[in-house]
Amino acid sequence: MTLRTGRHFLQIPGPTNVPDQVLRAMAAPTIDHRGPEFAALTVRLLAEIKPVFGTQGPVVIYPATGTGAWEAALVNTLSPGDRVLCFETGHFATLWQEMASALGLEVDFVPGDWRHGADPAELARRLDADITQSIKAVCVVHNETSTGVTSRIAEIRQALDDADHPALLFVDTISSLGSIDYRHDEWGVDVTVAGSQKGLMLPPGLSFNAVSDKALAASKTSRLTKSFWDWAPIIEANRRGSFPYTPNTNLLYGLHEALGMLAAEGLPQVFARHARHAAATRAAVRGWGLEVLCADEREHSGSLTAVLMPDSPDGPDADQVRKVILERFDMSLGAGLGKLSGRIFRIGHLGHFNDLTLAGTLAGVQMGLEIAGVPVDPAGLGAALDVLRTP
Ligand SMILES: *Cc1c(COP(=O)(O)O)cnc(C)c1O
């Protein structure tokens, strides 16, 4: 085993670095999940979490990863054969629509180039063409973690409203919640899907559905098979501060601590911090002479940046660069997923993060590119520091 000193740099876009105070909170003894102390914690948590989603409505917490919360959104609201419209923004959007098909839904998959978000104009065209209003739900990944592109959810909502179309709106915020501005109620989202291990600064293992009144009403007549994911018994038990199964007690201690940290910093400040770190990262990438994958200035992700490798037949691929950086500098970067495998690497800059963490991250990336033999302009790091020097 190689001897490592100092901390590993976990700069993948999730799981993210868990703050020490969250780790300490989770190290408390596990308590009786049917006892009074736990009931008080549950009631407090279910209130504390609402502002992060921007909702006054119920938030359902599952002891599962984000994938489970995707399934919960679909099976609670829809019936076999229902038509859903999904946008191919990248790898995660592709997985979500595959799940919808596997569950017996009819999926219209709007093709995309993995460099843009969901297109509100294309949505408007599809809704206008849907004379019988047979589309029951629209699924959008807010921040596509495989590409570093953030879809414009307010404009997606506007397209639904302009078409006066009753489809439910489902949004995956697994890598945006607590990092990028998001408003469940204001944007009329019906189910928001989230997970613990990205912007919420927790280990994997919790996921969430924020649920609108319209989605709750749809759940009364939905006929897809559900048992564990069924909102009704969970929301019912939550009223008494309990769950219909054993909740992951210690992760919930951590969630309470993490929500306290986000509230103390203030959500607008949290979003501004992420946007500034994303801007500094893009300054570095462009300074190196490389290209950011996201092709629309309005859609740059605050939580991660995907970097395109230069088109060079004999140069190293992105995975070789990541390997050099891991071996030499003990830093993990995100790999290209699906059809972007080997063509990009992803720099995570979300969660528990500050200016010098970013400076160290970008220094490691620059050195790794140089060592791997990618021709880069070393002025890239300085361009990022220029952004960071400005408060
Ligand atoms: C991480 C991620 C997922 C998958 O979540 P799991 O917790 O791994 O199940 C889905 N969608 C997005 C946008 C993600 O970032």
Residue 1 falls inside a structural domain: no
- On the question of pLDDT at 384 being above 80, the answer is yes
Report angle CA 100, 104, 110 to the nearest 5 degrees. 40
Say what the pTM is.
0.98
Mutation pick for ligand 1 pocket among 151, 174, 301 (CB with most ligand atoms within 8 Å): 174
Cα of 66 to ligand 1 centre, how many Å? 5
257 lines ligand 1 (CB under 6 A): no
- Report pLDDT digits (tens) over 260-276: 999 999 999 999 999 99
Domain termination residue (choose one: 247, 263, 279): 263
- Which of 263, 293, 323 represents a domain boundary (last residue)? 263
What per-residue confidence (pLDDT) applies to 1?
56
Q: Are 204 and 189 within one domain?
A: yes
Same domain membership, residue 187 and residue 332: no
- How far is ligand 1, taken at its centre, from the CA of residue 129, in Å? 31
Q: CA 235 → CA 50, 66, 207, 230, 241, distances in Å?
A: 14, 19, 15, 9, 10
Statement to judge: residues 293 and 320 lie in one domain = yes
How far apart CA 146 and CA 115 sit, in angstroms, is 10
Examine residue 4 and state whether it is found in any structural domain, yes or no.
no
Q: What mean pLDDT, rounded, does the chain reach?
A: 97
Question: Is 3 domain-assigned?
Answer: no
Residue 148 lies in a domain: yes
Is the distance from the beta carbon of residue 11 to the nearest atom of ligand 1 less than 6 Å? no
Domain count, the chain: 2
The verdict on the CB of residue 182 being under 6 Å from ligand 1 is no
> Do residue 142 and residue 39 come from a single domain?
yes
- Residue 6, Cβ density class (10 Å: 0-12 exposed, 13-18 middle, ≥19 buried): exposed
CA of 231 to the centre of ligand 1 (A): 20
Ligand 1 atom closest to Cα of 196? 7
Residue 126 lies in a domain: yes
User: How far is residue 50's CA from residue 43's CA, in Å, rounded to a whole number?
Assistant: 12
Domain extent, residue 156, equals 20-263
CATH of the domain at 236: 3.40.640.10
Asked whether residue 180 is domain-assigned, the answer is: yes
Ligand 1 atom 3, closest CA? 66
Is 113 within a domain?
yes
- Domain closes at, from 241, 263, 285: 263
Q: Which pLDDT does position 148 carry in this prediction?
A: 98
224 and 273 housed in the same domain: no
CA of 194 to the centre of ligand 1 (A): 8
Looking at the fold, whether 44 and 169 belong to one and the same domain comes out as yes
Is 123 inside any structural domain? Answer: yes
Judgement on whether residues 36 and 156 belong to the same structural domain of the protein:
yes
Q: Rounded mean pLDDT of 196-207? A: 98
- Ligand 1 contact via 145 beta carbon (within 6 Å): yes
pLDDT-based confidence at 159, cuts 50/70/90?
A: very high
Cα-to-centroid distance, 92 and ligand 1 (Å): 7
Query: How many C-beta neighbours within 10 Å does residue 169 have?
Result: 24
Using pLDDT thresholds of 50, 70 and 90, give the confidence band for residue 391. confident
Atom of ligand 1 nearest to the CA of 143: 13
Check residue 312 and give its pLDDT.
86
Label residue 2 by pLDDT band (50, 70, 90).
Answer: low
| Whether 210 contacts 63, CB under 8 Å | no
- Ligand 1 mean position to 381 CA, how many Å? 30
**What's the CA-to-centroid distance between 378 and ligand 1, angstroms?**
34
Distances (CA, A) of 94 to 104, 109, 111, 164, 172: 16, 9, 10, 27, 12
Tell me, yes or no, whether 339 and 217 share the same domain.
no
Residue 331: which pLDDT band, with cuts at 50, 70 and 90? very high
Q: How far is the CA of 67 from the centre of ligand 1 (A)?
A: 6
Q: Is the pLDDT of residue 137 over 70?
A: yes
Ligand 1 within 6 A of CB of 79? no
Q: Residues 155, 179: one domain?
A: yes
For 338-373, the pLDDT digits (tens) are 999 999 999 999 999 999 999 999 999 999 999 999
Are 236 and 364 within one domain?
no
